[in-house]
Homo-oligomer: A and B are copies of this chain.
Amino acid sequence: MSSTYGESLKLSIFGQSHGPAVGMVLDGIPAGLPVDLEALQTFLNRRAPGQNDWSTPRKEEDRPEFLSGILDGFTCGAPIAAAIYNRNTRSGDYANLKDCPRPGHADYTAQMKYGGFQDAAGGGHFSGRLTAPLCVAGGLCKQWLALNGIAIGGRILSIAGCDETDDPLDPCVPEIPVIGSDFPVVNPRVGEAMRQAISQARKDGDSVGGVIECVITGLPAGLGEPMFGGVESKLAQILYGIPAVKGVSFGDGFAVAGMRGSQCNDPFTIEDGVIRTTSNHCGGILGGITNAMPVIFRIAVKPTPSIARPQSSVSLSRNCPQELTVKGRHDPCIVPRAVPVAEAAAAIAIFDMLLGNTQTNRRK
Contacts and interface: CB of A to CB of B under 8 A. Distances in A.
A360 B313 CA distance: 24
A247 B246 contact: no
What is the oligomeric copy number?
4
Contact of A228 (B4, B209, B283): B4
B290 A104 contact: no
B112 A66 contact: no
B246 A74 contact: no
Interface stretch (A20-28, A36-44, A174-182): A20-28
A289 B106 contact: yes
B14 A78 contact: yes
Interface string A263-303: 11111111001010110011101111111100000101111
A260 interface: yes
Contacts of A1: 6-10, 27-28, 225, 229
Contacts of A234: 237
A340 interface: no
Contacts of A328: none
A174 B158 CA distance: 38
A127 to B, nearest CB: 10
A304 interface: yes
A189 interface: no
A248 interface: yes
B103 A277 contact: yes
Contacts of A59: none
Interface string A208-241: 1111000000001111111111101110111011
Interface in A104-123: 104-106, 108-110, 112-119
Contacts of A6: 1
Contact of A359 (B114, B208, B256): B114
Contacts of A103: 265-268, 277
Contact of A81 (B14, B160, B233, B303): B14
Contacts of A101: 268
A77 B110 contact: yes
Interface pairs A-B: 5 shortest CB-CB? A106-B287, A115-B361, A116-B363, A2-B225, A247-B249
A125 B260 contact: no
Interface residues of A, number: 161
A257 B81 contact: no
A112 B2 contact: no
B264 A119 contact: no
A135 to B, nearest CB: 14
Contacts of A228: 2-5, 237-238, 240-241
A123 to B, nearest CB: 8
A283 to B, nearest CB: 7
Contacts of A236: 233, 236-237, 240, 248
B8 A358 contact: yes
Given A2-B27, A117-B32, A20 B68 contact: yes
30 contacts: A1-B27, A2-B28, A2-B225, A3-B27, A14-B79, A15-B68, A21-B68, A31-B114, A77-B359, A101-B268, A104-B286, A108-B286, A110-B289, A113-B222, A114-B359, A126-B287, A204-B260, A206-B260, A208-B260, A208-B261, A211-B257, A227-B241, A232-B240, A261-B305, A261-B306, A261-B307, A268-B312, A273-B319, A275-B314, A355-B358
